[in-house]
Amino acid sequence: MTIEAVVLTRNESGNLPDCLRSLFWADGLLVFDSVSSDGTQEAARRLGARVVEHPFANFADQRSAALEAAQGDWVFFVDADERSTPELAAEIRRAVDGDAVGWWVPRDNYLFGRLTRYAGWYPDYQLRLLRRGKARYDPLRPVHETVILDGPEGWLESALVHHNYGSVRQFVRKQGPYASLEARALASQGAPRRLRSLVSRPLREFYRRYVQLEGHRMGAHGLLLSALTAYYSGVAYAKYLLGPH
């Protein structure tokens, strides 16, 4: 069974080299690029990766197109700010010989420079290892994309290292587009439009992150992350309310 590591990119020339070097154990490297302008494609080719350019519409569409463009028996999706480890590589090699057609991979998230274990950031399982021909993405979930498997799934133990938001400024910059995509997802689902949800949704999200998922155990770090996540759940809903009915 061959394994192709697929990295989705857009202007990731700074992150990409370290990401690809952590994936040299794979049988192939594909950089699936959303029309970068910062030398991402050139950096990928220098490190021996195959490059395919595909304009970005949404995350589900991009991953579906990348799955189609891949050539390995298995596809291991990695983001440019993520890093594989030798332990994860060895576990993946063992996993692809089993019966499962999709494997969930845990992530060690580093937020604002700190390994974050609470507030919903661990184990943060992602369905990233997929048997080609046995997996597809749900087109109705353009953000927080969902994989549909034609067969059993499994869970790995070794974590993918995710160098997530490095600063509050970066968090804010990235959450704007995510909120817009989430608003579109709410529209496609026909979610109810209620003014009171502008308050209740963020409050519920804060309670979930800070109390139920124990963000309080990280002190000020957990409080900040829970508050930011709650705020942007409200922003997404506000964008949905202001959109076309």
**Spans of all domains in the chain:** 3-163, 168-242
Which position has the token pair 């192939």?
28
Average pLDDT over residues 105-120: 97
Which residue did the predictor score with more confidence, 60 or 143? 60
For 3-163, CATH gives 3.90.550.10
Q: What is the reported pLDDT for 144?
A: 74
What pLDDT score does 140 carry?
74
Percent of the chain with pLDDT over 70: 98
Question: Hey, CA dihedral for 113, 118, 120, 122, is it positive or negative?
Answer: positive
Query: Confidence band (pLDDT; 50, 70, 90) for 244?
Result: low
Q: Residues 179, 228: contact at Cβ < 8 Å?
A: no
What confidence tens digit (pLDDT) does each residue in 5-51 have? 999 999 999 999 999 999 999 999 999 999 999 999 999 999 999 99
| 3-state helix, strand and coil shares in percent for the chain, rounded to the nearest 5 | 40, 20, 40
Residue 245 has a pLDDT of: 47
Radius of gyration of the chain (CA): 18
Q: Which amino acid is at 51?
A: V
Average pLDDT, the chain: 95
